[in-house]
Each structure stands twice: as structure tokens, then as C-alpha cells.
Amino acid sequence: MIDKRLLAQESRARGLNENQEIQKQVQALEERLMLQALLAEEERAAGAPSEAELRAWYEGHLTELTQPERVRVVRIFAATPAGASAAQRTQAKQRAERFAQQLRAGQPREKVAAGGDGPEKARGGELGGLARGDWRGDVAVEKAAFALKKVGEVSPVVAEAGGFSVLQLLERREARVPPFEEVRAEVEARMLPQRKRKVFEDLLERLRRAGTIEIDVAGRP
């Protein structure tokens, strides 16, 4: 900080603070800081949105707040090598069918997953909670996952790029609109930009009605 002060003193001693370009930048910075302070003051004066305003926003944005249908599944993958022959694909499909039989027989999914090839086997085969469109792989896997209805249900073998999969449903959550109380904080946060914009526009409108601005020939207000 001392070095900074020494450098500033030397700049003034050389008259650099009188430089027109520097003065323009200082003025621009001053105006920007004052504007920020003014808007912050107006936002404080406006206060937080009322409960009625929050609920009105909630009711008007139910579609956006709807939580999509989700499933949590186990995937056991039997891979085929690049350029696999028909025989190799048959062998991989047979492996996947054995995985399905093991799951249906009640063998622990972690044990079955350990024999698979996908990276998810390190997590006991679990892919986590996924909504439609979250799948980054073959859409056939997504379709098979959402076709499962009961926890523990095992899918038929699914052919996909690079091999064959079998899926088991761990959890299913239907699409739902969360109650207002559950998403109140989210509603308030999502209202904030809109509220800030309204405060700004209201202030600007008042100033336009009451204020007077003169511009000189050099274009400076």
C-alpha cells in the first residue's frame, strides 16, 4: 500500500492527473460507482417481495418449476470390441443375458456389476438419478430405463453402440410440481433479476419525468 501511495504521489508530481484521457476514465468510473450505489439504495427502499408477489410468480411459472420424471437404475454392460464379428456380438449378448438372469435371481447388484465392462461398475452399476434427455449414450438405454415400472424390475437385454446392456430399476420418481413452501427460496432467487430490472426502470422513468439534462457542443453532459 505504501508503494502504491508513493507511485501515486510521483504521478501527480509529474502532472499525470491532469491528463485528459485519465480524467475521462476517472469520471466514467465515478459515474459507474455512483450508479451502482444509487441502484443499491433504490433496491433497499423497494424491500423484499411480499408473500403475495412470491406466490403470484410461483403460480405463473408452474411449468418451469415442474420436476421431471426421474429414474435411478443399475446398468450392467457387456462390451464388444471395435469391428466385432457377429460371433463376438453374440457372445457379448449372451453375457448380458446372464447378467439379467443373475439380477432376476436376486444376486447382489454390486457382485453382478463387477463382472461388467462399463465404468459404472465401480459404483455397483449405478447410473444415478436421470431425467429424459440426460442420457449421453444410446437412446435405447434411456427408453429401456423409463420402461421399467417397479423397483427391482430388470429390463430385457438392450443393444447399443459398443455392446449390450441390462438395466435394473432402483427408484422411480414421477414428474411433480413441488409445493410453494418447498421452492420458496428458489422462487425468490429467480424473481430477483426481474425485480432489480423493475426498480431500475421505475427509477429511470421518475428521473425522465422530473430531470433535465443539457449536453454541450463537446458532447459532455
Give start and end residues of each alpha helix (H) in the chain: 2-13, 20-46, 51-60, 62-65, 86-104, 109-113, 139-147, 180-210
75, 118 Cβ separation under 8 angstroms: yes
Question: Looking at the DSSP assignment, which residues form a beta bridge with residue 74?
Answer: 126, 168
Cα–Cα distance measured from residue 83 to residue 215, given in angstroms and rounded to the nearest whole number: 74
**158-160 and 126-131 beta bridge pairing:** unpaired
Split at pLDDT 50, 70, 90, the class of 138 is confident
> Where are the domains positioned within the chain?
22-66+180-221, 67-173
Overall pTM surpassing 0.75 (yes/no): no
pLDDT 10s digits, 54-73: 999 999 999 999 999 999 99
- Going by C-alpha positions, the residue among 197, 51, 70 that lies closest to residue 130 is 70
The torsion angles phi and psi of 90, rounded to 5 degrees, stand at -65, -45
Per-residue model confidence (pLDDT) at position 136: 75
Split at pLDDT 50, 70, 90, the class of 208 is confident
Domain 67-173 belongs to what topology?
Chitinase A; domain 3 (3.10.50)
pLDDT 10s digits, 107-118: 999 999 999 998
